[in-house]
């Protein structure tokens, strides 16, 4: 018999046992849908994280002190800034002052946010954070002004401030209460994501103004660097390791390594759970096809009596398993993509839907069904034709 004969007989055999085929199919569809949905959602998660990192800057390195407690604010100073700025391959260095909180009144309610100080280099380093809802970024001559993060400006869909408004801020400096006023010159667009700097929740003032108000004496909580090219990042990190003590750093390739490990673990755990349903479906197929062999004993005997070989009978039953896997895998992949699209739309995380994933899941379903059908097929192929014809 040729392949077309096997295919025709497989479809005929399945059509005569629609209920059992449907039960096998449901198990395969559930397993494949679960695997496809999980992998496409985690793929979408990774894509979203990569997009967030592009906002932060793929060439960005954040340098920070590793000493703990109050000493942390005494590690990075203008000397470190000068040395870091002059490292070969560094395009820009942006010192950051932060850690202080301010309170202010909005329509009779006391609000509290963190305030940070940056200079014009910050928006060179973090190019993706240059987008504004309104207004402009800092200039070197600015004093007594502020940029608002999106979550400070827009609270519960209420846009609280406009460019040109003034806010009176209250903060505690060295144990004393200090009040000062800033004029809003810009509103930063929302940049929320796993790899962003938290700028959405900040009130940002010029670095020199922050230093004067909070008496920082040139001490920075971090210095953000931008490499001229992606290839320069490795050399800059190596230079920091060799020339600096008590300084740590984080670059985007380091974040992506951790992200990939995390997503790999999620895929392994959730994919393993989803694969259990495929195993259950495989056991069901073994049971169903074994019963089918018992019911079709006379049919097998007739086939052998008219010239069918053991190999022909073996391939016939395996081909029925392949059809089950092909249909179940294809439908399962489609259902998985559909579910991931619906869920992703609801939670705001578009899935990563690829043709390769659908093919892989379908192939995996076919392999599962074929392996499950091997024993029943082998049993059918080894039936004695004389004894099979005697069976009622």
Please tell me which residue, 143 or 68, carries the higher pLDDT value. Answer: 143
CA-based max dimension of the chain? 103
Q: Which of 42-46, 285-289, 342-346, 388-392 has maximum average pLDDT? A: 342-346
Mean pLDDT (whole number) for 169-173: 92
265: Cβ–Cβ under 8 A, 6 or more apart, which residues? none
Q: Does residue 237 form part of some domain?
A: no
- With cut-offs at 50, 70 and 90, classify the pLDDT of residue 110: very high
CA 114 – CA 391 distance, rounded (Å):
84
Of 179, 213, 228, which marks where a domain is finished?
A: 228
Least confident of 4-18, 86-100, 254-268: 4-18
Q: Does residue 191 form part of some domain?
A: yes
Mean pLDDT (whole number) for 346-364: 86
Of 180, 213, 228, which marks where a domain is finished?
A: 228
Comparing CA positions, the residue from 359, 386, 379 lying closest to residue 292 is 379
4: Cβ–Cβ under 8 A, 6 or more apart, which residues? none
CA 366 – CA 355 distance, rounded (Å):
17
Q: Does residue 268 form part of some domain?
A: yes
Domain extent for 104? 60-228
For every residue of 39-96, DSSP letters joined together read HHHHHHHHHHHHHHHHHH-TTEEEEEE---GGGGGGTB-HHHHHHHHTSTTEEEEEEE
- pLDDT beyond 50 at 24: yes
Mean pLDDT (whole number) for 279-303: 70
Tokens of 150: 């999106």
- Please tell me the predicted confidence (pLDDT) of residue 161: 92
Residues 122 and 71 in one domain: yes
Residues 149 and 285 in one domain: no
| Mean pLDDT, all residues of the chain | 81
Q: Is this prediction's pTM over 0.85?
A: no
In percent, how much of the chain has pLDDT > 90? 29
Least confident of 19-23, 111-115, 201-205: 19-23
Residues 78 and 134 in one domain: yes
Q: Does residue 355 form part of some domain?
A: yes
Tokens of 254: 């380091």
- With cut-offs at 50, 70 and 90, classify the pLDDT of residue 69: very low
- Please tell me the predicted confidence (pLDDT) of residue 156: 84
Q: What crossing angle do the helices spanning 310-347 and 252-295 adopt, rounded to 10°? A: 140
Residues 40 and 68 in one domain: no
Residues 47 and 69 in one domain: no
Q: Does residue 150 form part of some domain?
A: yes
**How many structural domains is the chain composed of?**
2
- Please tell me the predicted confidence (pLDDT) of residue 195: 47
CA 313 – CA 323 distance, rounded (Å):
16
């Amino acid at each position: 018999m040729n392949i077309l004969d096997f295919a025709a007989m497989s479809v005929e055999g399945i059509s005569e046992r629609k209920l059992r085929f449907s039960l096998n199919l449901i198990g395969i569809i559930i397993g494949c849908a679960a695997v496809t949905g999980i992998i496409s959602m985690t793929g979408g998660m990774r894509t979203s994280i990569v997009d967030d990192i592009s906002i932060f800057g793929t060439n960005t390195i954040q340098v920070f002190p590793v000493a703990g407690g109050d000493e942390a604010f005494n590690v990075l100073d203008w000397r470190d800034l000068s040395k870091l700025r002059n490292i070969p391959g560094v395009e820009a260095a942006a010192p950051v002052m932060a850690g202080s909180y301010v309170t202010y009144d909005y329509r009779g309610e006391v609000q509290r946010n963190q305030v940070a100080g940056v200079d014009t280099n910050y928006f060179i380093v973090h190019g993706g954070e240059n987008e504004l809802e309104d207004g402009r970024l800092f200039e070197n001559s600015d004093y007594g002004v502020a940029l608002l993060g999106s979550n400070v400006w827009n609270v519960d869909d209420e846009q609280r401030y406009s460019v040109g408004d003034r806010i009176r801020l209250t903060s505690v400096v060295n144990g004393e209460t200090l009040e000062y006023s800033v004029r809003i010159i810009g509103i930063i667009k929302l940049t929320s994501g796993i790899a962003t700097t938290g700028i959405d929740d900040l009130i940002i003032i010029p670095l020199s103004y922050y230093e004067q108000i909070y008496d920082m004496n040139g001490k920075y909580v971090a210095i953000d660097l931008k490499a001229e090219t992606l290839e320069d990042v490795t050399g800059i990190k190596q230079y920091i390791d060799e020339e600096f003590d008590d300084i740590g750093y984080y670059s985007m390739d380091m974040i992506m390594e951790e992200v990939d490990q995390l997503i790999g673990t999620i895929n392994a755990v959730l994919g393993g759970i989803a694969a259990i349903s495929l195993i259950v479906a495989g056991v069901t197929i073994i049971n169903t096809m074994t019963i089918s062999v018992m019911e079709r004993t006379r049919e097998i005997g007739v086939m052998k009596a008219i010239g069918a070989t053991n190999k022909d009978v073996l391939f016939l039953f395996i081909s029925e398993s392949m059809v089950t896997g092909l249909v179940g895998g294809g439908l399962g992949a489609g259902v998985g993509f559909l579910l991931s699209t619906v869920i992703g739309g609801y939670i705001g995380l578009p899935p990563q839907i690829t043709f390769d994933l659908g093919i892989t899941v379908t192939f995996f379903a076919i392999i599962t069904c074929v392996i499950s059908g091997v024993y029943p097929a082998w049993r059918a192929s080894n039936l004695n034709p004389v004894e099979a014809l005697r069976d009622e």
